[in-house]
Amino acid sequence: MTTKQLLQSPQSAAEAVVQVLKEAGIDAVFGIAGGHAGHIWAALEKYQDCIRTVLVREESLGSAMAEVYGRLTGKPGVLIGQGPWILGNGLLGTIEAQLSSSPMLLLTDFSDTPELSLHGPYQSGRGDYGGWDARLSFKGVTKQVFEAHHPAAAVHATQLAIKHAMAGQPGPVAVLFSISAFTGQVSPEDSPRLYSTSAYLSRKSKHVDPEAIQDAAAALGQAKRPVIIAGNGVRIGQAYSALHNIAQSLNIPVVTSPSGKGVFAESHGLALGLYGTFGHPAANACVGESDLILAVGTKLSASDTAYENPSLIDPRRQVLIQLDIESLNASWSFPADHVVIGEAAIALEALREAAVGFDGHGIERVKAYRKPYLHQESAQFEDPTIPMSPPRLIAEMQHVLPSNAIVCCDAGENRIFMMRYYTTREAGGFLQAAGAGPMGYAIPAAMGAKLVHPERPVVAVCGDGGFSMSMNGLMTAIEANIPIITVIFNNQMLGWSTHIRGPFAAQFHDFDHAAIAQAMGCHGVKVNTPQELAAALREALIAEVPTVIDARISSELSYKSLIASFTDAPDLEGVKKEVGVAD
């Protein structure tokens, strides 16, 4: 087998860079034309039939859209623009990609003038006296940095960056172009030689250590009360079906981390929802009383595990099996008894086959854990009080939105409420920025998700604070015909800040966000009651333009009331006896 050359005739470096994106299967890019990266934007005009170019109004919006594109497709989300602002404004999505392991490609520049690099600089990131050091700066927030100073290197660096963004544990990779990288043309004879991009694309390994699988299966076979903790790695690895199959086949309860919420349908009879610091008491009870934990694609971070509360996870009394693509993530937060390294879907399927016949009594256990909370939750979801409580608002969303809807959450109290009270009914239906957790994420995230899944309704949920940070994203939604729905939890304040330290410097004026949206060309409506919200959502689902629903909510419920308590758990011994899994 021989490898084809990338180029058959000379062309501009920028055009060859775009050809690389096409060969990598990347069909959308985001950003703002500026600096030397403007050459790439000019080249994109010739590729409109295969690559959608989304012009945003500010780099942070493009970075969040690129991060979500990478998280959902497994291909690098591409952000293109000028170095200082891709770094500064674009950090929102870049840091999220770094902490959430989303493949991402930053095509940016040094903003340099090489012949005058030692003079007083303007914008220059070459690292010379008086300037800033682009390579050092991007190195601190990405998986890898490549730089290119001539045309052939510009193309080769792009190929290597795609490879690194997707290999092993994915993440963001930056390519820094000097102005000289876009000077002149690149030809088939140039050095380094340029070959087809397919050779650089990540190849998923189907191998997992069979001995590790057998050891993990043997440990699982001895367990009486196993539980699966599923994290964002299930989403990154596109392992939804594999997770469902192992849970169903072996009858094991499933809980998710915050970043993993949405990887397993929470309406399933084996689902207990979110566990951890803000987890459902039933999910925490199941994890806390388990004798074996199967952790899949989760780093078991301190914020997820109630800050290592031993009532939840304690390696002195529980067996831990950890599945991850990155060996450094295993036995990181907690020592693992059994480690399986590999693609989540491959590892889960191998473990399922090795443990065929095992029964974790999941259906019975889940019913028993849920039972003490059914009446209380039903009352919250039917609360008639006006302004609406967050659980009541969420219950109405749950009632109206179809099961295939994708919900994208912002930061702050609204995210905590959504994590706790919103029930996903299909895998892949919930996204949040749980790695870095920035405000202003929901709207661009929803836009990115809608581009990947145009057939599904996509809803951005944010507070009035988060909406004001990214409402200019709706201009792009109008221009690019991305009809997302935005629901604002409007209580005229920063809820988290108000409830943790008081109202000072945390209160907003009562702005009419629906009118602001209408002025942009969106459909906008203010709602005060569940009935008005339901009507607005039904309208939004058939609207051909973006819709903003400004929902007035009560500020009485605090996120602090949802912090996990391990002193009021249900009678665990009673649960064990009820389903026949007592020690």
pLDDT, tens only, 311-324:
999 999 999 999 99
Question: How would residue 575 be classed by pLDDT, with cut points 50, 70 and 90?
Answer: low
Q: Alpha-carbon distance 309 to 574, whole Å?
A: 22
Q: Alpha-carbon distance 76 to 66, whole Å?
A: 8
Q: What's the mean pLDDT in 353-376?
A: 95
The pLDDT of residue 495 is 79
- Residue 124: is its pLDDT beyond 90? no
Question: How would residue 119 be classed by pLDDT, with cut points 50, 70 and 90?
Answer: confident
Give which of 279, 476, 251 is closest to 366, Cα–Cα.
Answer: 251
Torsion angle (degrees, nearest 10) of CA 185, 187, 193, 197: 80
Q: In whole angstroms, how far apart are CA 160 and each of 178, 191, 244, 467?
A: 17, 15, 35, 37
Q: What is the largest CA-CA distance in the chain?
A: 79
Which residues are CB-contacts of 412 (< 8 A; sequence separation ≥ 6)? 439, 463, 465, 466, 494, 495, 496
Q: In whole angstroms, how far apart are CA 519 and each of 8, 82, 216, 472, 512?
A: 50, 30, 58, 12, 11
Q: Alpha-carbon distance 352 to 191, whole Å?
A: 49
- Residue 466: is its pLDDT beyond 80? yes
The pLDDT of residue 540 is 98
- Residue 401: is its pLDDT beyond 60? yes
Question: How would residue 582 be classed by pLDDT, with cut points 50, 70 and 90?
Answer: low
Give which of 461, 511, 466 is closest to 487, Cα–Cα.
Answer: 461
Two tokens, residue 101: 């392991």
The pLDDT of residue 68 is 98
The pLDDT of residue 29 is 98
- Residue 570: is its pLDDT beyond 90? no
Cis peptide before 387, with omega less than 30 degrees from 0?
Answer: yes
**Cβ atoms of 281 and 373 closer than 8 Å:** yes
Q: Alpha-carbon distance 326 to 299, whole Å?
A: 10
The pLDDT of residue 581 is 64
CA angle 294, 324, 145 (to 5 degrees): 155
Which residues sit opposite 54 in a β-bridge? 30
Q: What's the mean pLDDT in 398-424?
A: 96
- Residue 278: is its pLDDT beyond 70? yes
pLDDT digits (tens, 9 = 90+) for 174-229: 999 999 999 989 999 998 999 999 989 988 888 899 999 999 999 999 999 999 99
The pLDDT of residue 494 is 84
Question: How would residue 573 be classed by pLDDT, with cut points 50, 70 and 90?
Answer: low
Question: How would residue 113 be classed by pLDDT, with cut points 50, 70 and 90?
Answer: confident
Burial category of 326 from C-beta neighbours within 10 Å (exposed 0-12, middle 13-18, buried 19 and up): middle
Q: Residue 524: which H helix or E strand, with range? A: strand 523-527
Q: Residue 99: which H helix or E strand, with range? A: helix 91-100
Q: Alpha-carbon distance 505 to 524, whole Å?
A: 28
- Residue 1: is its pLDDT beyond 60? no
- Per the prediction, the chain carries an average pLDDT of 93
Which residues are CB-contacts of 91 (< 8 A; sequence separation ≥ 6)? 60, 63, 141
Strands (E), 179-225: 185-186
HEC string of 110-122 equals CCCCHHHCCCCCC
Q: Alpha-carbon distance 162 to 170, whole Å?
A: 10
Give which of 290, 281, 282, 287 is closest to 225, Cα–Cα.
Answer: 290
Q: Alpha-carbon distance 22 to 204, whole Å?
A: 20
Higher pLDDT, 74 or 129: 74
Question: How would residue 447 be classed by pLDDT, with cut points 50, 70 and 90?
Answer: very high
Higher pLDDT, 411 or 122: 411
The pLDDT of residue 139 is 97
Q: What's the mean pLDDT in 573-579?
A: 60
- Residue 487: is its pLDDT beyond 70? yes
- Residue 533: is its pLDDT beyond 70? yes
Q: In whole angstroms, how far apart are CA 203 and each of 42, 103, 198?
A: 31, 14, 10
HEC string of 399-429 equals HHCCCCCEEEECCCHHHHHHHHHCCCCCCCC
Give which of 296, 282, 285, 327 is closest to 229, Cα–Cα.
Answer: 296
Q: How many other C-beta atoms lie within 10 A of the C-beta of residue 300?
A: 23
- Residue 122: is its pLDDT beyond 90? no
- Residue 59: is its pLDDT beyond 90? yes
Q: Alpha-carbon distance 575 to 247, whole Å?
A: 20
Taken in order 235, 237, 243, 245, the sign of the CA dihedral is positive
Cis peptide before 192, with omega less than 30 degrees from 0?
Answer: yes
- Helix, strand, coil fractions of the chain, as percent rounded to 5: 40, 15, 40
- Residue 571: is its pLDDT beyond 70? no
The pLDDT of residue 507 is 87
The pLDDT of residue 580 is 63
Higher pLDDT, 572 or 351: 351
Look at strands 319-324 and 77-80 and give their pairing. unpaired
Two tokens, residue 379: 């009352």
Two tokens, residue 397: 């969303």
